[in-house]
Amino acid sequence: MAQVSLRKVIKKYDEVLAVRGVDLDIADKEFIVLVGPSGCGKSTTLRMIAGLEEISGGDIAIGGDVVNDVPPKDRDIAMVFQNYALYPHMNVYENMSFGLKLKKTPKQEIDQRVRAAAGILDITELLDRKPKQLSGGQRQRVAMGRAIVRDPKVFLFDEPLSNLDAKLRVQMRTEIKKVHQKVRTTTVYVTHDQVEAMTLADRVVVMNAGLIEQVGTPNDLYHSPATKFVAGFIGSPAMNFIPCQLEQAAGALRVRLSDKLSFPVPDGRTARYTSNVGKPNLILGLRPEHIAETRPHIEPNQHDFDQVIEVVEPMGMETLVYFTLAGAEVCGRVNPNAGATAERSMKLRADLSNMHLIDDTTGKVL
């Protein structure tokens, strides 16, 4: 087990910068998830940690030792691939023991370790089978088993659940979390699925265009995103971005969305926002759950407004309503019994205590 650190890591393919200077410290036993849209450099970063891609600049250290020029086999890492990459001609036992055999581990120890790992993953009865006789979920387990058996310093996962169907993906997600709680090995996990990132990670690293946008716990990222990108990427349905103006009237700050509609800024935020009064390109960021139906009892910073609903999407436990506000499509989450109907007006309630004010010019959350 070990900490991993990346210092100004760069990856260049010919003239294209895929990773543009990544700094990251991963603590021992930590579960880190790299998340971002395709092409953001997350997989490349992982492959550089694995040693499958050479780095074009910077340093990567595992357990305190710089491993820039160390080949993958000497980095003491294990990797789980998206397509499992099981050796098709070997059975599960041979797949799991291949690495140990190459290291000339004594037979008895190999057997003991394979059986222990198989026990953790509940695949003991599959040890004699060939990969093609296994289902997707079972193959995924074997791929994890192959990683666990070697007892490496770091686990690397490269979108391991992308090939599974939706139901199995949720199940395996829990499985991976359980395994990590049992073996406590430092883990770097790459995914494009923000739900996977939120549910698995101790800390999430959001990447975009070869750079780290923000590093933080899942709750940090959700409640205090640093940039518009993170605010929009984390959370489903995504945060609403409504163009707005910040105006000062009678000593109080107000966010104006349209001629008719404006909300007062919560008291606690006045000081933070005052310097932005009159700034162009401001955006109000409000998550769908902070736009709900009106209720008899009103809390501070909550404000009712009338709105014609355009589309209604019943989800069972909640109903999503869509409407246009200040030229932006806005999503709200209302109670299924609130009587939301398409093309009818409805009284909604915005909760501004969790609002975000975003400067669209810099992309920063103010």
Dihedral angle sign, alpha carbons of residues 191, 195, 196, 198: positive
CB of 271 to another protein, least distance (A): 53
For another protein, the closer of residues 186 and 319 by Cβ is 186
Pair 234, 205: CB distance under 8 Å: no
CB of 70 to another protein, least distance (A): 12
SS3 for 45? helix
Pair 327, 243: CB distance under 8 Å: yes
Q: How far apart are CA 255 and CA 7, in angstroms?
A: 41
CB of 100 to another protein, least distance (A): 9
CB of 316 to another protein, least distance (A): 39
- Number of other CB atoms surrounding residue 166 within 10 Å: 8
Adjacent-strand bridge partners of 148: none
Q: Which two tokens stand for residue 240?
A: 């609403």
For another protein, the closer of residues 78 and 176 by Cβ is 78
For another protein, the closer of residues 44 and 194 by Cβ is 44
CB of 109 to another protein, least distance (A): 15
For another protein, the closer of residues 132 and 297 by Cβ is 132
Q: Please enumerate, as own/partner, the contacts of 334-341 that have beta carbons within 8 Å and a separation of 24 or more.
A: 334/292, 334/293, 335/292, 335/293, 338/293, 340/293, 340/309, 340/312, 341/309, 341/312
For another protein, the closer of residues 99 and 137 by Cβ is 99
Footprint of another protein (CB under 8 A): 50-52, 71-73, 77-79, 81-83, 85-89, 98-99, 102-103, 146, 150
- DSSP 8-state assignment for residue 50: H
For another protein, the closer of residues 143 and 253 by Cβ is 143
CB of 193 to another protein, least distance (A): 20
